[in-house]
Amino acid sequence: RKEVEQDPGPFNVPEGATVAFNCTYSNSASQSFFWYRQDCRKEPKLLMSVYSSGNEDGRFTAQLNRASQYISLLIRDSKLSDSATYLCASGTYKYIFGTGTRLKVLA
Amino acid sequence: GAVVSQHPSWVICKSGTSVKIECRSLDFQATTMFWYRQFPKQSLMLMATSNEGSKATYEQGVEKDKFLINHASLTLSTLTVTSAHPEDSSFYICSVPTSGISRLEQYFGPGTRLTVT
């Protein structure tokens, strides 16, 4: 089993839709969790850290479920510009990245 | 977050030659930097942790004599791919960890795309 797993997608959604991704992790000792956005042939950019209490940044909401060992990312009111690959990462000092979930927002 | 640059952004080299990639932290003094490699449609794979003033620590399966890392200052780490082969063709990205709220957030450089012919 991979340490961090994500559904590769693609998730094709219409503009304005709400979409959610999950990411499971196997190391229960992991302390930190993140969501990154990666555009084609570019570097990952930090989207948001994931806190135990859950956190929201505009249209984006991240949550952590330690009991089931997964994190989630919810995107509301999807924009065309949200089309990208979303990577989750977990770890304590060194991070393990998932392979990413590809999102396509369609006009 | 940290602003990180890499040079070159892309490089094509012949098999058997060596290539040096620079990673600079422009606004943050980084005692540690990370080097990753990403093959097409695959995840980022951590190669090594670059430590300022001391030896790098390599992940299992990464040859330290092939991927030479030097972290001579708080703003610069270099990765040299020695005797490059076509299977070394990949996207090499460095990251700088900074302290977010109770956790280390990593900020990535723009990456270097290496093609070995």
What pLDDT digit, counting tens, does each position of A7-20 carry?
999 999 999 999 99
The pLDDT of B11-19, averaged and rounded, is 97
For residue range A21-47, what is the model confidence (pLDDT) as tens digits? Answer: 999 999 988 888 999 999 998 999 999
Give me the percent of chain A exceeding a pLDDT of 70: 99
Minimum-distance CB partner of A46 among B1, B34, B44: B1
B/e letters for B76-95, b = 16+ CB within 10 Å, e = fewer, are: bbbbebeebeeebbbbbbbb
Q: How far is B97 from chain A (nearest CA, A)?
A: 9
Which chain B residues have a beta carbon less than 8 Å from that of A99? 41-43
The answer to whether B60 contacts chain A (CB < 8 Å) is no
Of B18-32, B38-52, B93-107, the range with the lowest mean pLDDT is B93-107
Q: How far is A51 from chain B (nearest CA, A)?
A: 9
